[in-house]
Chain A
Amino acid sequence: MAPDPEDLRLIKAAQRGDQRALDRLLAKHQARIYAICRRLAGNDADALDATQEALIAIVRGLGRFDGRAAFTTWSYRVATNAALDELRRRGRRPEPGLPEYEQADDTYIAGRESRDPSEIVAAGIDVDSALAELPEEFRAPVVLRDMAGMDYAEIADVLDLAPGTVRSRIARGRGRLADVLASGHGAEQTTNSAHESELAGNQIPPDERQSP
């Protein structure tokens, strides 16, 4: 991605201490950063924690950002690492939460070839459960490609991998997902306690959230 002129202007101002510019910059990108974290983490609580960590890391590292790469490339790398770190800290695979399209939110971020949410509901497909079946090394490139719309070179940069490795992992990740869906493992899960709590009051149980 080519550097966005508006991003560069906001970054330069933020680097000089302009908090308003910093706020604008983060506001512009927070939704997509969250979307990446959400797909990688598999539930809202972990995604919000990862997003917070990502924003903190972005602010801390902004002084070193030189603008040669697009801000999106850099910030997506930070978001990906934050989400994966969150998973590793918790020492578990992503715990699927309430399918996000059932939450009372007005804003949605979709990838380039998104499927109608109503179709997903009708098919009983749980995105989080399906992605949870993928190992981390496949899940990240697939999410960056199909959720964030990054090209292979950018993903290689974000994940610090060779482009050929990225292609291979994306292909294998997509194939694994296709197998998961075909076997019916992507059906909605309704048994875990966190999910039941969310159904009851659309609240994320406190004991499920850890402070960052």
Chain B
Amino acid sequence: MTMTDEPDSVDELISRYLDGEATDAEIARIESNPALRARAESMRTAIELVASPVAIPEAALDQIRAAVVAASPSTSEQVTDLEAAAAERRARAERRGRVMAVAAACVLLAVGVVAVRSLPGGDDADETTDAGAVDTTSADDGADSTADGDFSLNAESLSSSASASASAMADESEVEMAEADDMAEEAMPEEAMPEEDGADSAESESDAAGDEVAESSVVPPQLFARTDQLNDELGTYADADALVADVVATYGDARQAAPFVGTDEIGLCTEAEQLLLDELVSDPLGFETASADLAGDPVIVIIGSDIDGNLAVLIHPADNCAAATAIGGAERS
């Protein structure tokens, strides 16, 4: 069947009809005219033909993709001075121990800081979690003693006392616990409560301390959580350990090569941002943002990474800046 009267305009009419964009009058015209109906049927067959399944040569495509990715510019950016990077990591690990206590102690927020020195599931995680829980106690003290917000001054005063425990943190959690007890007693003896339960207790300590801080005159600004700007949605987790394990599994081998751009675009409070930065082993490079459900509470998860690919995870309740928790130091193998 060929159309001789203005075939292009007829075909345009029928094409609109087949796309579901014809007016009622046009539909009526086509469906009441046998020639137009036949033409519509022919063109519908043509559409179906073009839309017919294309067999995909997966193996060949995978080979092509692998070659293209391997040759991509980012490959060359991974070349670093390994010895210098390792030395820097060691130095930063020592500083991180001091900073961890500092971050725990001198915050306007009452937070719990947990150091994880191995990938999730390792024994070290439990030990350092315990130590971190003790540090949480120090955070309470620090929060109280810094009610006026003298952040850096407290950082300095605590760094020397914390440095010894920080350097032994990976191997001697009991020593750390004892030293942390001493630190706690200096400020508020009755708050010293070593915990065995790791992240959960750290989080509960954070929550309790958060309530305490919220009642003080120095309350950090609410996190302005523009959740529509978050990059990812992580799902539901029963506890922080499960969330962090998933974060590391998802982002653990991310290779970041761009300058750290900060977290301004999601309105993260500076204190929480500092927590995150403090947990990174080396120079910060980038971050990801995600939402998650943590035991029924919505949280924002900020995954920061440094130039060596280590991760730090900030778990930030969506409406409570004071209860943010930073977990960091997970070193990739």
Contact = CB atoms under 8 A, between A and B. Distances in A.
A168 B52 contact: no
A161 interface: no
Contacts of A127: 49-50, 52
Nearest to B251: A13
B72 A59 contact: yes
Interface string A1-28: 0000110110011111111111100110
Contacts of A106: 58
A175 B39 CA distance: 8
B35 interface: no
Contact of A171 (B11, B52, B75): B11
Identify which of B3, B50, B285 gathers the most chain A CB atoms within 10 Å of its CB.
Answer: B50
B14 A171 contact: yes
Nearest to A170: B15
Contacts of B54: 34-35, 38-39, 100, 108-110, 147
B64 A52 contact: yes
Interface in B1-44: 1-3, 7-8, 11-12, 14-16, 18, 39, 42-44
B45 A107 contact: no
A147 B50 CA distance: 6
Contacts, number: 195
Contacts of A172: 8, 11-12
Contacts of B77: 17
Main secondary structure of the interface of A (DSSP, over half): helix
Nearest to A99: B55
Nearest to B51: A111
Interface residues of A, number: 69
B57 A105 contact: yes
B82 interface: no
B52 A5 contact: no
Contacts of A103: 55, 57
Interface stretch (A78-86, A176-184, A192-200): A176-184
A132 interface: no
Contacts of B92: none
B87 interface: no
Contact of B11 (A22, A112, A175): A175
Identify which of A12, A16, A38, A44 gathers the most chain B CB atoms within 10 Å of its CB.
Answer: A16
Contacts of B232: 5-6, 9
Contacts of B14: 171, 175
17 contacts: A13-B288, A14-B74, A16-B258, A18-B254, A19-B75, A20-B255, A30-B61, A31-B56, A103-B55, A105-B56, A108-B55, A109-B56, A110-B53, A115-B48, A167-B12, A171-B16, A175-B7
Interface of B: 1-3, 7-8, 11-12, 14-16, 18, 39, 42-58, 60-62, 64-69, 72-75, 77-78, 231-233, 253-258, 285-286, 288
Interface of A: 5-6, 8-9, 12-23, 26-27, 30-31, 34-35, 38-39, 44, 48, 51-52, 55-56, 59-60, 100-101, 103, 105-115, 117, 120, 125, 127, 130-131, 142-143, 146-147, 167-168, 170-172, 174-175, 177-179, 181-182, 186
Given A107-B55, A143-B50, 9 more contacts: A9-B231, A17-B74, A17-B255, A100-B55, A105-B56, A112-B51, A114-B53, A167-B12, A174-B11
